[in-house]
Amino acid sequence: MGKKTQINESFVLSKIHFIRGQKVILDEDLAVMYGVETKRLNEQVKRNPGRFPKDFMFQLSKKEFENLKSQFATSSSSWGGRRGRPFAFTDYGVLMLSGVLNSETAIQVNLKIIRVYAKLREMLLKNKDILIKLEQMEKKINSQEILAGKHDNEIQLIFRTLKQLISPPPMPRKRIGFKSAILSH
């Protein structure tokens, strides 16, 4: 793989998928980041099975793989060339990869990936803390019943709006297929 890919935070973020309730990066994407062939990356993983338990890495089911492929609007030659289902690596699996690949590139790429995972985790925790504090304030105000009816509605509206702003929006699904227009004569 002679092609060098620029690895930055936004590139890493674009390669993180949410599968089986976990944030993962596919073997193919990691291989691009490390500058190795996917086949070579997977060979190293297979040579070190004790380092990659199920909570570090798993193979996508046929249904998960089909669902993932359907999310991409354009066909990629890399998807068509795959013979098997991809492996998905959690943040722990990514950490373990630097040990089995044992190269300076792997170490540097891992540092970038782990920093992105840490930022994601931090953002989720901050939002969770804010949401908990909002709920506590709402309960306190409701239990004290110090506000008149007119102000109650306004405060409830503020709480609902704040909760919507803090809660992450659902991931938009990419539409696949054609829009058909019925032609009238």
Rounded to the nearest angstrom, the gap between the alpha carbon of residue 149 and the centroid of all alpha carbons in its chain is: 43
Most confident of 121-125, 140-144, 171-175: 121-125
Whether 181 shows a pLDDT value over 70: the answer reads no
Q: What local confidence, expressed as pLDDT, does residue 158 receive?
A: 75
Please name which of 10, 17, 13, 11 lies closest in space to residue 90, comparing C-alpha atoms. 17
The answer on pLDDT for 169 being more than 60 is: no
User: Which has the closest alpha carbon to 12: 81, 89, 101?
Assistant: 89
Length of the chain: 185
Give the pLDDT of residue 75.
Answer: 45
Sheet holding 87-89, edge to edge: 16-19, 22-26, 87-89, 57-59
How confident is the model at residue 2, as a pLDDT?
47
pLDDT, mean of residues 23-36: 91
Q: What percentage of the chain has pLDDT greater than the value 70? A: 71
Cα 152 to chain centroid distance, Å, stands at 39
